[in-house]
Amino acid sequence: MGKVRILILGGTTEARRLAERLVARTDLDIVLSLAGRTAEPLPLPVPVRSGGFGGPEGLARFLRQEAISLMIDATHPFAERISANATEAARLADVPAFSLRRPGWEPVDGDRWISVANVAAAVEALGPSRRRVFLTIGRQEAYHFNAAPQHNYFVRSIDPVEPPLQVPDAAYILSAGPFTLESERRLLQAERIDVIVSKNSGGTAAYAKIEAARLLGIDVVMIERGTSAGLPAVTSIEAALDEIDHRLSPAMKRGV
Binding site for ligand NAP (CB under 6 A): 9-12, 33-35, 37, 52-55, 58-59, 75-76, 78-82, 85, 138, 140, 199
3-state secondary structure of 38: coil
53 forms bridges with which residues in the sheet?
none
The residue (of 44 and 125) whose beta carbon lies closer to ligand NAP is: 44
Neighbours of 167 (CB within 10 A): 15
The residue (of 11 and 202) whose beta carbon lies closer to ligand NAP is: 11
Burial label, 128 (beta-carbon count in 10 A; 0-12, 13-18, 19+)? exposed
Could you say which DSSP state residue 200 is in?
-
- The CB-of-192 to ligand NAP minimum distance in angstroms stands at 26
- The CB-of-56 to ligand NAP minimum distance in angstroms stands at 8
The residue (of 216 and 228) whose beta carbon lies closer to ligand NAP is: 228
- The CB-of-213 to ligand NAP minimum distance in angstroms stands at 19
194 forms bridges with which residues in the sheet?
none
User: Distance between CA atoms of 246 and 235, rounded to whole angstroms?
Assistant: 16
The residue (of 78 and 172) whose beta carbon lies closer to ligand NAP is: 78
The residue (of 87 and 152) whose beta carbon lies closer to ligand NAP is: 87
- The CB-of-16 to ligand NAP minimum distance in angstroms stands at 11
- The CB-of-222 to ligand NAP minimum distance in angstroms stands at 14
- What residue number has its CB nearest to ligand NAP? 52
Q: In what order do the strands lie in the sheet with 113-116?
A: 113-116, 219-223, 195-199, 132-135, 152-157, 170-174
Three-state SS sequence of 145-176: HHHCCCCEEEEEECCCCCCCCCCCCEEEEECC
